[in-house]
């Protein structure tokens, strides 16, 4: 993947030197081998901090909205799932297309850093990564490792719909085929088979662990309200208490707030410190919207109407 990194740095440097953008948002190496961190580069000399590989899990599209009122233009590095976020932000009029230069990178999947960290010698420094088709090889100064994709990738990557960016001004790397390791809604379908009581028990156990840290909300690229309902004091729709009732209200309310706009990027799952399977909750809504309205994943192409913000006389009426 060194070729991709070099091309990425060259394109970023060119954009900054030619004053086409004032800022490049990309991935940089983190303090741990299996982690990367968002980097914000505003000079050609800083592009050496950019990297790419199977640890670039963050959805950087979230940061673009922070610069929508800033002077000048912004470039952002996106994977396929991230690019859906950009389209959704554009459709929601949260960003202006002429202010964003999209650097798309076809993505063969991202490794789950916790699993990798458990295998790699502590303190090892990353030297190089490579995509071998069904596995990633990771070279470090303490030895070389191989990670099978099916066993080590993030779940969202195992069922990825868009390994290639759906919107891109500059594409770096070769287009990739869609490679799904399991059926997209397999976990949701399994949960649907449970009784009402068992499903309630399942989510009670999940939501009872919630800290209400709001990491899921803060990382979400389609949570764009100027004043969040959960921050309001008058009226206070949901209290600040962390009990099962209030936690459940928080998660169900948020799920319906993003219904029809959630792009299934999986960031809520990734950042939750309590490992609550929030993506499974959102996927249930995705599945139902597909069954009821034949609705594609939001952001997979421009102009997809929000299912809960659009009405058609032909909509099914089975709830009446």
pLDDT tens for residues 65-88? 999 999 999 999 999 999 999 999
Q: Which residue has the higher pLDDT, 299 or 307?
A: 299
Residue 299's pLDDT band (cuts 50, 70, 90)? very high
pLDDT at 88: 95
Token pair 């809504």 is found at: 285
User: Model confidence over 164-218: pLDDT tens digits?
Assistant: 999 999 999 999 999 999 999 999 999 999 999 999 999 999 999 999 999 999 9
pLDDT at 167: 96
Q: How far is CA 190 from CA 180, 183, 185, 261, in A?
A: 18, 11, 9, 24
> Average pLDDT of 57-65?
96
Give, for 171, the enclosing helix (H) or strand (E). Answer: strand 170-171
Q: Is the pLDDT of residue 229 over 60?
A: yes
Closest Cα partner for 279 from 255, 298, 301, 296?
Answer: 255
User: Model confidence over 22-45: pLDDT tens digits?
Assistant: 999 999 999 899 999 999 999 999
Q: Which residue has the higher pLDDT, 234 or 251?
A: 251
Token pair 């949960």 is found at: 191
pLDDT at 2: 75
> Average pLDDT of 263-285?
96
> Average pLDDT of 240-269?
93
For residues 58 and 296, give the distance between their C-alpha atoms in angstroms, rounded to a whole number. 23
pTM assigned to the model: 0.92
For the chain, how big is the Rg over CA atoms in Å? Answer: 20
pLDDT at 59: 97
> Average pLDDT of 4-20?
97
Q: Which residue has the higher pLDDT, 318 or 25?
A: 25
Q: Is the pLDDT of residue 264 over 70?
A: yes
pLDDT at 320: 47
> Average pLDDT of 242-266?
94
pLDDT at 318: 65
Q: Say if residues 263 and 297 touch (Cβ distance below 8 Å).
A: yes
> Average pLDDT of 42-52?
97
What does the block give as tokens for 46? 């800083």
Q: Is the pLDDT of residue 48 over 90?
A: yes
User: Model confidence over 89-139: pLDDT tens digits?
Assistant: 999 999 999 999 999 999 999 999 999 999 999 889 999 999 999 999 999
Instruction: Give percent of the chain with pLDDT exceeding 90.
Output: 84
Residue 319's pLDDT band (cuts 50, 70, 90)? low
């Amino acid at each position: 993947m060194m070729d991709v990194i070099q091309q990425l740095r060259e394109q970023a440097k060119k954009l900054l030197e030619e004053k086409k953008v004032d800022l490049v948002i990309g991935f940089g190496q983190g303090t741990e081998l299996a982690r990367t961190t968002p980097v914000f580069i505003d000079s050609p000399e800083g592009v050496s901090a950019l990297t790419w590989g199977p640890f670039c899990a963050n959805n950087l599209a979230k940061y673009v909205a922070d610069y929508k009122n800033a002077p000048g233009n912004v470039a952002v590095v996106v994977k396929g799932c991230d690019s859906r976020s950009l389209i959704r932000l554009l459709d929601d009029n949260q960003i202006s297309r002429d202010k964003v230069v999209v650097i798309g990178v076809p993505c063969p999947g991202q490794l789950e850093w916790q699993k990798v960290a458990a295998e790699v010698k502590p303190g090892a420094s990353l030297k190089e990564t490579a995509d071998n088709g069904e596995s990633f090889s990771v070279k470090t100064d303490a030895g070389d490792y191989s990670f099978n994709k099916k066993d080590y990738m993030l779940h969202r990557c195992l069922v990825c719909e868009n390994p290639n960016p759906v919107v891109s001004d500059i594409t770096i790397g070769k287009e990739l085929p869609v490679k799904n390791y399991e059926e997209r809604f397999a976990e949701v379908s399994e949960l649907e088979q449970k009784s009402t009581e068992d499903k309630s028990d399942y989510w009670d156990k999940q939501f009872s662990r919630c800290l209400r840290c709001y990491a899921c909300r803060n990382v979400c690229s389609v949570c764009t309200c100027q004043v969040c309902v959960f921050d309001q004091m008058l009226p206070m729709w949901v209290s600040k208490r962390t009990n099962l009732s209030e936690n459940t209200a928080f998660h169900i309310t948020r799920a319906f707030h993003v219904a029809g706009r959630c792009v299934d990027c999986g960031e809520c799952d990734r950042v939750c410190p309590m490992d609550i399977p929030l993506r499974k909750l959102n996927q249930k809504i995705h599945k139902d919207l597909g069954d009821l309205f034949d609705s594609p994943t939001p952001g997979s192409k421009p102009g997809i109407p929000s299912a809960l913000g659009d009405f058609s006389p032909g909509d099914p009426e089975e709830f009446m």
